[in-house]
Amino acid sequence: MPGHRLDPIDRKILSELQADGRMTNVELAKRVGISAPPCLRRVRTLEEQGFIKGYHADINSRELGFEVQVFAMVGLQSQAEADLSAFEDKCRSWPLVRECHMLNGEVDFILKCVAPDLSTFQTFLTSELLTAENVGSVKTSLVIRGAKDDPGVPFDVLEERLSRSA
């Protein structure tokens, strides 16, 4: 299990930073029960090893005028690896597409799109997404409201699994 590569302090560091990436190293060290210098070394090592991919602010999109959130389920005409990669590259170039996930099942990709208004999304849908090479079908669902949007992983589940396997 991948979690075995980390000791409990490393996992606690990750859990704390996932909850609040802005806390100072001194505060983080206090929360995980070690002094600041080794805590900073551990954080840097976790970054270098790829456990920490970056730090981001949780932006309230509606406060910035992005009132529309849509999930688009995309079916491609060809699922050859080159075609899948080409579609992923295209998604990375579209600013309204905030997430792109390849799926198993009747839908090839699900895209999370954010737009200031329905008209802007509709223009993107009709002039960009539906006309993109290899796109065979698109079904969209407009988000009415979100009930949960937790980033990362549930560390309590990881700790429970690790304690059972020990």
Asked if residue 112 and residue 50 are part of one domain, the reply reads no
Asked if residue 72 and residue 137 are part of one domain, the reply reads yes
Would residue 75 count as lying in a domain? yes
Pick the closest to residue 73 from 134, 141, 18 (CA basis).
Answer: 141
CATH of the domain at 77: 3.30.70.920
The answer to whether 67 and 120 have CB atoms below 8 angstroms apart is: no
Give the mean pLDDT of 63-84. Answer: 97
What local confidence, expressed as pLDDT, does residue 146 receive? 92
Q: What is the pLDDT of residues 145-161, one digit of tens each?
A: 999 999 899 999 999 98
Would residue 162 count as lying in a domain? no
Give the mean pLDDT of 112-140. Answer: 98
Count the domains in the chain. Answer: 2
Distance between first and last Cα of the chain: 11
Q: How confident is the model at residue 5 (pLDDT cuts 50, 70, 90)?
A: confident
**Is the per-residue pLDDT at 110 higher than 60?**
yes
For residue 42, the enclosing domain spans 2-57
